[in-house]
Amino acid sequence: MYCLGLMSGTSVDSIDVALVKITGENVNLEIELLSGINHYYPEKLRQTILEVADGQPLSIEEIAKLDEEIALCFVEAVRRIKQEHSTIALIGSHGQTIYHRPPLNGKLGYTLQLGRGEIIANLTGIPTVNNFRVADIAAGGQGAPLVSKIDAYLLSHPKHHRCIQNLGGIGNFTYLPPKEQENWENRIVGWDTGPGNMLIDLAVKQLTNGERTYDNNGDWAAQGKPNLSLIEQWLAQDFFQQTPPKSTGRELFGEAYLQQCWQDAQTYNLSETDFLATLTELTAASMAHSYQQFLKYPIDEILLCGGGSHNFYLKERIKSYWPSTTKVKTTDEVGMNSDFKEAIAFAILAYWRYVSQIPGNLPQVTGAKEARLLGDIHLPLDS
Ligand SMILES: Nc1ncnc2c1ncn2[C@@H]1O[C@H](COP(=O)(O)OP(=O)(O)OP(=O)(O)O)[C@@H](O)[C@H]1O
Ligand SMILES: [Mg+2]
Protein backbone atom coordinates (compact mmCIF):
# COMPACT_ATOMS: atom_id res chain seq x y z
CA MET A 1 0.00 0.00 0.00
CA TYR A 2 1.25 3.50 -0.86
CA CYS A 3 0.98 5.70 2.22
CA LEU A 4 1.89 9.32 2.67
CA GLY A 5 3.22 10.67 5.95
CA LEU A 6 2.96 14.40 6.63
CA MET A 7 4.89 15.93 9.50
CA SER A 8 5.64 19.42 10.62
CA GLY A 9 7.51 19.51 13.89
CA THR A 10 8.14 22.08 16.58
CA SER A 11 10.86 23.78 14.50
CA VAL A 12 8.17 24.79 11.97
CA ASP A 13 10.88 24.59 9.31
CA SER A 14 8.86 22.66 6.73
CA ILE A 15 6.15 20.10 6.18
CA ASP A 16 8.04 16.86 5.61
CA VAL A 17 6.27 14.64 3.11
CA ALA A 18 7.25 10.97 2.84
CA LEU A 19 5.70 8.58 0.36
CA VAL A 20 6.28 5.02 1.50
CA LYS A 21 5.38 1.65 0.14
CA ILE A 22 4.26 -0.47 3.07
CA THR A 23 4.00 -4.22 2.78
CA GLY A 24 3.37 -6.79 5.47
CA GLU A 25 1.01 -7.02 8.37
CA ASN A 26 0.71 -5.60 11.84
CA VAL A 27 4.18 -4.97 13.22
CA ASN A 28 6.00 -7.06 10.62
CA LEU A 29 6.31 -4.42 7.95
CA GLU A 30 8.64 -3.73 5.05
CA ILE A 31 9.05 -0.05 4.28
CA GLU A 32 10.35 1.54 1.11
CA LEU A 33 10.72 5.32 0.90
CA LEU A 34 9.68 6.25 -2.63
CA SER A 35 9.79 10.00 -2.34
CA GLY A 36 10.51 12.63 0.28
CA ILE A 37 9.98 16.36 -0.14
CA ASN A 38 9.94 19.47 2.03
CA HIS A 39 6.97 21.74 1.53
CA TYR A 40 7.40 25.18 3.03
CA TYR A 41 4.81 27.31 4.77
CA PRO A 42 4.44 30.83 3.41
CA GLU A 43 6.72 32.97 5.65
CA LYS A 44 3.82 34.94 7.19
CA LEU A 45 2.02 31.74 8.19
CA ARG A 46 5.23 30.31 9.61
CA GLN A 47 5.74 33.41 11.76
CA THR A 48 2.16 33.22 13.02
CA ILE A 49 2.58 29.56 13.98
CA LEU A 50 5.82 30.33 15.84
CA GLU A 51 4.23 33.25 17.71
CA VAL A 52 1.14 31.27 18.67
CA ALA A 53 3.21 28.27 19.75
CA ASP A 54 5.23 30.66 21.89
CA GLY A 55 2.09 31.77 23.74
CA GLN A 56 0.62 34.66 21.77
CA PRO A 57 -3.15 34.61 22.48
CA LEU A 58 -5.60 34.12 19.60
CA SER A 59 -9.37 34.52 19.32
CA ILE A 60 -11.43 31.47 18.33
CA GLU A 61 -11.95 33.12 14.94
CA GLU A 62 -8.19 33.43 14.47
CA ILE A 63 -7.64 29.81 15.52
CA ALA A 64 -10.22 28.69 12.95
CA LYS A 65 -8.41 30.66 10.22
CA LEU A 66 -5.04 29.24 11.24
CA ASP A 67 -6.43 25.70 11.33
CA GLU A 68 -7.75 26.07 7.76
CA GLU A 69 -4.61 27.74 6.43
CA ILE A 70 -2.43 24.96 7.80
CA ALA A 71 -4.74 22.29 6.36
CA LEU A 72 -4.60 23.95 2.93
CA CYS A 73 -0.82 24.01 3.09
CA PHE A 74 -0.80 20.29 3.87
CA VAL A 75 -3.17 19.75 0.92
CA GLU A 76 -0.73 21.62 -1.35
CA ALA A 77 2.05 19.36 -0.11
CA VAL A 78 -0.01 16.28 -1.02
CA ARG A 79 -0.82 17.70 -4.47
CA ARG A 80 2.87 18.10 -5.24
CA ILE A 81 3.51 14.42 -4.56
CA LYS A 82 0.30 13.35 -6.33
CA GLN A 83 1.56 14.87 -9.59
CA GLU A 84 4.13 12.08 -9.74
CA HIS A 85 2.42 9.33 -7.77
CA SER A 86 -1.29 8.98 -8.35
CA THR A 87 -1.83 5.79 -6.39
CA ILE A 88 -1.66 7.07 -2.83
CA ALA A 89 -4.12 5.06 -0.73
CA LEU A 90 -3.74 6.60 2.70
CA ILE A 91 -2.45 9.73 4.41
CA GLY A 92 -1.17 10.01 7.98
CA SER A 93 -0.99 13.67 8.92
CA HIS A 94 0.60 14.75 12.17
CA GLY A 95 -0.53 18.34 11.71
CA GLN A 96 1.14 21.29 13.37
CA THR A 97 1.49 21.36 17.14
CA ILE A 98 0.63 24.77 18.51
CA TYR A 99 0.21 23.75 22.14
CA HIS A 100 1.38 20.86 24.28
CA ARG A 101 0.80 20.52 28.00
CA PRO A 102 2.16 17.33 29.53
CA PRO A 103 0.14 15.60 32.27
CA LEU A 104 0.97 16.81 35.76
CA ASN A 105 0.12 15.47 39.23
CA GLY A 106 -2.62 13.16 38.01
CA LYS A 107 -4.16 15.82 35.75
CA LEU A 108 -4.46 14.83 32.09
CA GLY A 109 -2.28 16.58 29.56
CA TYR A 110 -3.56 18.52 26.57
CA THR A 111 -2.16 18.76 23.08
CA LEU A 112 -3.36 20.58 19.98
CA GLN A 113 -2.31 19.89 16.40
CA LEU A 114 -3.88 22.06 13.71
CA GLY A 115 -4.48 21.18 10.04
CA ARG A 116 -7.94 19.65 9.69
CA GLY A 117 -7.88 16.01 8.58
CA GLU A 118 -11.37 16.16 7.04
CA ILE A 119 -10.25 18.97 4.73
CA ILE A 120 -7.13 17.06 3.69
CA ALA A 121 -9.26 13.95 2.98
CA ASN A 122 -11.91 15.83 1.01
CA LEU A 123 -9.59 17.98 -1.07
CA THR A 124 -7.14 15.19 -1.90
CA GLY A 125 -9.72 12.39 -2.20
CA ILE A 126 -7.53 10.18 0.02
CA PRO A 127 -8.53 8.69 3.41
CA THR A 128 -6.63 10.62 6.07
CA VAL A 129 -5.74 9.80 9.65
CA ASN A 130 -4.77 12.67 11.94
CA ASN A 131 -4.90 13.75 15.59
CA PHE A 132 -2.65 10.91 16.70
CA ARG A 133 -1.70 12.21 20.11
CA VAL A 134 -5.04 12.76 21.85
CA ALA A 135 -5.97 9.11 22.51
CA ASP A 136 -2.71 8.56 24.34
CA ILE A 137 -3.18 11.78 26.32
CA ALA A 138 -6.75 10.77 27.25
CA ALA A 139 -5.34 7.48 28.58
CA GLY A 140 -3.10 9.46 30.92
CA GLY A 141 -0.07 9.50 28.61
CA GLN A 142 2.26 12.26 27.48
CA GLY A 143 1.03 11.92 23.88
CA ALA A 144 4.75 11.78 23.03
CA PRO A 145 7.06 10.37 21.86
CA LEU A 146 4.85 8.41 19.43
CA VAL A 147 7.55 7.00 17.19
CA SER A 148 8.92 4.46 19.69
CA LYS A 149 6.94 1.47 18.49
CA ILE A 150 8.04 2.21 14.95
CA ASP A 151 11.66 2.54 16.05
CA ALA A 152 11.25 -0.78 17.86
CA TYR A 153 10.05 -2.76 14.85
CA LEU A 154 12.19 -1.08 12.20
CA LEU A 155 15.43 -0.30 13.97
CA SER A 156 16.07 -2.85 16.72
CA HIS A 157 19.24 -4.90 16.48
CA PRO A 158 19.37 -8.57 17.53
CA LYS A 159 22.37 -8.05 19.82
CA HIS A 160 23.06 -4.34 20.27
CA HIS A 161 21.60 -1.89 22.75
CA ARG A 162 20.53 1.02 20.58
CA CYS A 163 19.24 4.52 21.25
CA ILE A 164 17.43 6.25 18.42
CA GLN A 165 17.79 9.97 19.11
CA ASN A 166 15.70 12.44 17.15
CA LEU A 167 17.06 15.98 17.09
CA GLY A 168 14.12 18.13 16.05
CA GLY A 169 13.09 21.33 17.79
CA ILE A 170 12.93 19.12 20.85
CA GLY A 171 15.11 16.04 21.37
CA ASN A 172 13.52 12.67 21.99
CA PHE A 173 14.79 9.13 21.98
CA THR A 174 13.83 5.47 22.07
CA TYR A 175 15.99 2.93 23.87
CA LEU A 176 15.93 -0.44 22.09
CA PRO A 177 17.30 -3.43 23.97
CA PRO A 178 18.71 -6.29 21.88
CA LYS A 179 15.81 -7.97 20.11
CA GLU A 180 17.10 -11.39 21.05
CA GLN A 181 16.53 -10.62 24.73
CA GLU A 182 13.52 -12.03 26.44
CA ASN A 183 10.65 -9.65 27.02
CA TRP A 184 12.27 -7.25 24.56
CA GLU A 185 9.28 -5.02 23.74
CA ASN A 186 8.39 -4.44 27.40
CA ARG A 187 11.90 -3.17 28.12
CA ILE A 188 11.79 -0.42 25.50
CA VAL A 189 11.65 3.07 26.94
CA GLY A 190 11.93 6.59 25.61
CA TRP A 191 11.12 10.21 26.39
CA ASP A 192 11.87 13.81 25.45
CA THR A 193 15.41 14.70 26.46
CA GLY A 194 14.95 18.51 26.29
CA PRO A 195 15.88 21.06 23.64
CA GLY A 196 17.10 19.74 20.30
CA ASN A 197 17.61 22.66 17.89
CA MET A 198 15.00 24.98 19.35
CA LEU A 199 17.22 27.17 21.52
CA ILE A 200 20.00 27.18 18.91
CA ASP A 201 17.53 28.33 16.23
CA LEU A 202 16.06 31.04 18.48
CA ALA A 203 19.51 32.32 19.41
CA VAL A 204 20.70 32.43 15.79
CA LYS A 205 17.56 34.33 14.85
CA GLN A 206 18.14 36.83 17.68
CA LEU A 207 21.85 37.27 17.02
CA THR A 208 21.37 37.86 13.28
CA ASN A 209 18.26 40.04 13.64
CA GLY A 210 16.19 37.39 11.91
CA GLU A 211 18.49 37.02 8.92
CA ARG A 212 19.35 33.40 9.70
CA THR A 213 17.15 30.74 11.25
CA TYR A 214 19.66 28.03 12.18
CA ASP A 215 23.38 27.42 12.68
CA ASN A 216 24.30 25.70 9.42
CA ASN A 217 26.31 22.53 10.23
CA GLY A 218 27.03 24.08 13.64
CA ASP A 219 29.79 26.18 12.02
CA TRP A 220 29.14 29.20 14.22
CA ALA A 221 28.98 27.34 17.54
CA ALA A 222 32.09 25.36 16.57
CA GLN A 223 34.14 28.57 16.84
CA GLY A 224 33.10 29.04 20.47
CA LYS A 225 33.74 27.38 23.79
CA PRO A 226 30.88 26.00 25.91
CA ASN A 227 30.58 27.27 29.46
CA LEU A 228 30.31 24.13 31.57
CA SER A 229 29.27 25.95 34.75
CA LEU A 230 26.18 27.18 32.95
CA ILE A 231 25.45 23.68 31.67
CA GLU A 232 25.61 22.35 35.22
CA GLN A 233 23.31 25.14 36.40
CA TRP A 234 20.77 24.55 33.62
CA LEU A 235 20.77 20.76 34.01
CA ALA A 236 19.74 21.19 37.66
CA GLN A 237 16.37 22.53 36.45
CA ASP A 238 13.13 20.60 36.94
CA PHE A 239 12.61 19.22 33.45
CA PHE A 240 16.02 17.59 33.28
CA GLN A 241 15.68 16.15 36.77
CA GLN A 242 12.11 14.92 36.26
CA THR A 243 11.74 11.13 36.14
CA PRO A 244 10.33 9.83 32.83
CA PRO A 245 7.85 9.51 31.17
CA LYS A 246 8.17 13.13 30.14
CA SER A 247 7.58 15.40 27.17
CA THR A 248 8.07 19.06 26.44
CA GLY A 249 7.82 21.73 23.78
CA ARG A 250 8.10 25.39 22.89
CA GLU A 251 5.96 26.16 25.96
CA LEU A 252 9.04 25.48 28.10
CA PHE A 253 12.06 25.81 25.78
CA GLY A 254 10.80 28.83 23.81
CA GLU A 255 11.59 32.53 23.62
CA ALA A 256 11.28 33.24 27.38
CA TYR A 257 13.64 30.36 28.18
CA LEU A 258 16.17 31.67 25.68
CA GLN A 259 16.06 35.15 27.23
CA GLN A 260 16.75 33.61 30.64
CA CYS A 261 19.70 31.70 29.17
CA TRP A 262 20.99 34.91 27.60
CA GLN A 263 20.79 36.70 30.97
CA ASP A 264 22.57 33.80 32.68
CA ALA A 265 25.25 34.02 30.00
CA GLN A 266 25.78 37.73 30.73
CA THR A 267 26.88 36.89 34.28
CA TYR A 268 29.81 35.06 32.67
CA ASN A 269 30.33 37.74 29.99
CA LEU A 270 29.93 35.11 27.29
CA SER A 271 30.50 36.19 23.72
CA GLU A 272 27.75 35.47 21.18
CA THR A 273 29.81 32.60 19.82
CA ASP A 274 30.41 31.06 23.24
CA PHE A 275 26.70 31.48 23.98
CA LEU A 276 25.80 29.46 20.88
CA ALA A 277 28.39 26.83 21.76
CA THR A 278 26.87 26.60 25.26
CA LEU A 279 23.32 26.19 23.92
CA THR A 280 24.56 23.46 21.59
CA GLU A 281 26.30 21.84 24.53
CA LEU A 282 23.01 21.85 26.46
CA THR A 283 21.44 19.63 23.79
CA ALA A 284 24.36 17.17 23.93
CA ALA A 285 24.72 17.28 27.71
CA SER A 286 20.99 16.92 28.42
CA MET A 287 20.89 13.82 26.21
CA ALA A 288 23.83 12.26 28.03
CA HIS A 289 22.45 13.28 31.43
CA SER A 290 19.07 11.78 30.57
CA TYR A 291 20.46 8.43 29.40
CA GLN A 292 22.93 8.15 32.26
CA GLN A 293 20.52 9.21 34.98
CA PHE A 294 17.41 7.31 33.97
CA LEU A 295 18.39 4.56 31.55
CA LYS A 296 21.21 2.74 33.28
CA TYR A 297 21.86 0.34 30.42
CA PRO A 298 25.10 0.10 28.47
CA ILE A 299 24.58 1.62 25.03
CA ASP A 300 26.33 0.23 21.99
CA GLU A 301 24.98 2.64 19.40
CA ILE A 302 23.33 6.04 19.30
CA LEU A 303 21.59 6.59 15.97
CA LEU A 304 20.76 10.23 15.28
CA CYS A 305 17.96 11.51 13.07
CA GLY A 306 16.13 14.78 12.47
CA GLY A 307 17.58 18.09 11.30
CA GLY A 308 20.04 18.35 14.18
CA SER A 309 21.89 15.31 12.87
CA HIS A 310 23.26 17.67 10.16
CA ASN A 311 24.86 19.83 12.84
CA PHE A 312 28.45 18.48 12.80
CA TYR A 313 29.51 20.39 15.89
CA LEU A 314 26.53 19.06 17.86
CA LYS A 315 27.35 15.55 16.71
CA GLU A 316 30.95 15.96 17.91
CA ARG A 317 29.77 17.26 21.26
CA ILE A 318 27.34 14.32 21.60
CA LYS A 319 30.22 11.92 20.89
CA SER A 320 32.35 13.56 23.57
CA TYR A 321 30.02 12.29 26.31
CA TRP A 322 30.52 8.63 25.41
CA PRO A 323 33.39 6.14 25.43
CA SER A 324 34.70 5.09 22.02
CA THR A 325 32.83 1.78 22.40
CA THR A 326 29.54 3.68 22.01
CA LYS A 327 29.14 4.42 18.30
CA VAL A 328 27.38 7.64 17.33
CA LYS A 329 25.97 7.44 13.79
CA THR A 330 22.85 8.48 11.90
CA THR A 331 19.91 6.25 11.09
CA ASP A 332 20.94 6.55 7.40
CA GLU A 333 23.78 4.19 8.23
CA VAL A 334 21.28 1.47 9.10
CA GLY A 335 19.05 2.12 6.10
CA MET A 336 16.52 4.58 7.53
CA ASN A 337 16.41 8.06 6.01
CA SER A 338 17.21 10.41 8.90
CA ASP A 339 15.43 13.44 7.44
CA PHE A 340 12.12 11.73 6.75
CA LYS A 341 11.99 9.22 9.61
CA GLU A 342 9.32 11.16 11.53
CA ALA A 343 7.15 11.61 8.42
CA ILE A 344 7.57 7.90 7.61
CA ALA A 345 6.47 7.14 11.17
CA PHE A 346 3.17 8.94 10.68
CA ALA A 347 2.51 7.01 7.48
CA ILE A 348 3.00 3.81 9.48
CA LEU A 349 0.87 5.02 12.39
CA ALA A 350 -1.92 5.72 9.88
CA TYR A 351 -1.47 2.22 8.45
CA TRP A 352 -1.68 0.70 11.93
CA ARG A 353 -4.86 2.67 12.65
CA TYR A 354 -6.65 2.24 9.33
CA VAL A 355 -5.44 -1.09 7.96
CA SER A 356 -4.08 -3.19 10.83
CA GLN A 357 -6.23 -1.58 13.54
CA ILE A 358 -3.54 -2.05 16.15
CA PRO A 359 -2.34 0.40 18.82
CA GLY A 360 0.47 2.79 17.93
CA ASN A 361 1.68 3.84 21.37
CA LEU A 362 3.95 2.06 23.81
CA PRO A 363 2.46 2.71 27.27
CA GLN A 364 5.80 2.36 29.05
CA VAL A 365 7.12 5.21 26.87
CA THR A 366 4.23 7.64 27.00
CA GLY A 367 2.93 6.68 30.45
CA ALA A 368 -0.55 5.88 29.09
CA LYS A 369 -2.56 3.36 31.08
CA GLU A 370 -3.11 1.25 27.97
CA ALA A 371 -1.99 0.77 24.40
CA ARG A 372 -4.54 2.60 22.23
CA LEU A 373 -5.58 2.93 18.62
CA LEU A 374 -4.16 6.30 17.64
CA GLY A 375 -5.69 8.80 15.24
CA ASP A 376 -9.03 9.94 13.82
CA ILE A 377 -10.05 8.56 10.43
CA HIS A 378 -11.47 10.92 7.80
CA LEU A 379 -12.91 9.45 4.63
CA PRO A 380 -13.15 11.71 1.56
CA LEU A 381 -16.49 12.73 0.10
CA ASP A 382 -17.82 10.38 -2.58
CA SER A 383 -16.62 11.83 -5.84
N1 LIG B 1 22.56 21.59 7.94
C2 LIG B 1 22.09 21.83 9.16
N3 LIG B 1 22.90 22.28 10.14
C4 LIG B 1 22.45 22.55 11.37
N5 LIG B 1 21.17 22.40 11.74
C6 LIG B 1 20.31 21.95 10.81
C7 LIG B 1 20.71 21.64 9.49
N8 LIG B 1 19.62 21.21 8.81
C9 LIG B 1 18.58 21.26 9.66
N10 LIG B 1 18.98 21.71 10.87
C11 LIG B 1 18.17 21.94 12.07
O12 LIG B 1 17.09 21.05 12.07
C13 LIG B 1 15.87 21.77 12.32
C14 LIG B 1 14.73 21.02 11.69
O15 LIG B 1 14.76 19.69 12.14
P16 LIG B 1 13.48 18.77 12.11
O17 LIG B 1 12.68 19.07 10.89
O18 LIG B 1 13.96 17.39 12.30
O19 LIG B 1 12.75 19.26 13.40
P20 LIG B 1 11.21 19.47 13.70
O21 LIG B 1 10.54 20.08 12.53
O22 LIG B 1 11.14 20.21 14.98
O23 LIG B 1 10.68 18.01 13.83
P24 LIG B 1 10.20 17.10 15.07
O25 LIG B 1 9.45 17.97 16.01
O26 LIG B 1 9.36 16.09 14.39
O27 LIG B 1 11.38 16.45 15.62
C28 LIG B 1 16.12 23.14 11.76
O29 LIG B 1 15.28 24.08 12.38
C30 LIG B 1 17.59 23.34 12.09
O31 LIG B 1 17.74 23.82 13.40
MG1 LIG C 1 10.85 19.88 10.60
Range of the domain at 83: 2-143+343-378
Pairing of strands 128-130, 376-378: antiparallel
- Pair 133, 208 in one domain: no
Question: Is 217 part of any domain?
Answer: yes
Question: Is 72 part of any domain?
Answer: yes
16 Cα: distance to centroid of ligand 2 (angstroms): 6
What are the pLDDT tens digits along the chain (383 aa)? 999 999 999 999 999 999 999 999 999 999 999 999 999 999 999 999 999 999 999 999 999 999 999 999 999 999 999 999 989 999 999 999 999 999 999 999 999 999 999 999 999 999 999 999 999 999 999 999 999 999 999 999 999 999 999 999 999 999 999 999 999 999 999 999 999 999 999 999 999 999 999 999 999 999 999 999 999 999 999 999 999 999 999 999 999 999 999 999 999 999 999 999 999 999 999 999 999 999 978 899 999 999 999 999 999 999 999 999 999 999 999 999 999 999 999 999 999 999 999 999 999 999 999 999 999 999 999 86
Q: Is 214 in the pocket of ligand 1 (CB under 6 A)?
A: yes
Pocket-testing residue among 7, 8, 13, 337, ligand 1, by greatest number of atoms within 8 A of Cβ: 13
- Pair 209, 321 in one domain: yes
308 Cα: distance to centroid of ligand 2 (angstroms): 10
Task: Provide the 10 A C-beta neighbour count for residue 212.
Answer: 13
Question: Is 119 part of any domain?
Answer: yes
Query: What whole-number distance in Å separates Cα of residue 47 and Cα of residue 34?
Result: 31
Q: Is 142 in the pocket of ligand 1 (CB under 6 A)?
A: no
Question: Is 383 part of any domain?
Answer: no
- Pair 59, 116 in one domain: yes
Q: Is 340 in the pocket of ligand 1 (CB under 6 A)?
A: no
pLDDT of residue 382: 85
Ligand nearest to the backbone CA of 197: 1
- Pair 353, 264 in one domain: no
Q: Is 7 in the pocket of ligand 1 (CB under 6 A)?
A: yes
Query: What whole-number distance in Å separates Cα of residue 98 and Cα of residue 96?
Result: 6
- Pair 239, 116 in one domain: no
- The overall pTM is greater than 0.85: yes
pLDDT of residue 383: 62
Is the separation of the CB atoms in 143 and 247 below 8 Å? yes
- Pair 35, 178 in one domain: no
Question: Is 155 part of any domain?
Answer: yes
Query: What whole-number distance in Å separates Cα of residue 122 and Cα of residue 381?
Result: 6
- Pair 171, 100 in one domain: no
CA distances, 288 to each of 10, 139, 222, 331, 374 (Å): 22, 30, 19, 18, 30
pLDDT of residue 60: 97
345 Cα: distance to centroid of ligand 1 (angstroms): 16
- Pair 262, 352 in one domain: no
Q: What is the 3-state secondary structure (H, E, C) of the chain?
A: CEEEEEEECCCCCCEEEEEEEEEEECCEEEEEEEEEEEECCCHHHHHHHHHHHCCCCCCHHHHHHHHHHHHHHHHHHHHHHHCCCCCCCEEEEEEEEEEEECCECCECCEEEEECCHHHHHHHHCCCEEECCCHHHHHCCCCCCCCCHHHHHHHHCCCCCCEEEEEECCEEEEEEECCCCCCCCHHHCEEEEEEECCHHHHHHHHHHCCCCCCCCHHHCCHHHCCCCHHHHHHHHCCHHHHCCCCCCCCCCCCCHHHHHHHHHHHHCCCCCHHHHHHHHHHHHHHHHHHHHHHHCCCCCCEEEEECHHHHCHHHHHHHHHCCCCCCEEEEHHHHCCCCCCHHHHHHHHHHHHHHHHCCCCCCHHHHCCCCCCCCCEEECCCCC
- Pair 167, 290 in one domain: yes
Ligand nearest to the backbone CA of 40: 2
Question: Is 153 part of any domain?
Answer: yes
Ligand nearest to the backbone CA of 170: 1
Question: Is 13 part of any domain?
Answer: yes
Q: Is 144 in the pocket of ligand 1 (CB under 6 A)?
A: no
- Pair 135, 204 in one domain: no
Q: What is the 3-state secondary structure (H, E, C) of 316-366?
A: HHHHHCCCCCCEEEEHHHHCCCCCCHHHHHHHHHHHHHHHHCCCCCCHHHH
- Pair 361, 264 in one domain: no
- Pair 363, 307 in one domain: no
Task: Report the domain count for the chain.
Answer: 2
Q: Is 13 in the pocket of ligand 1 (CB under 6 A)?
A: yes
Closest ligand 1 atom to 166 CA: 27
Q: Is 283 in the pocket of ligand 1 (CB under 6 A)?
A: no
Q: Is 201 in the pocket of ligand 1 (CB under 6 A)?
A: yes
CATH code assigned at 308: 3.30.420.40
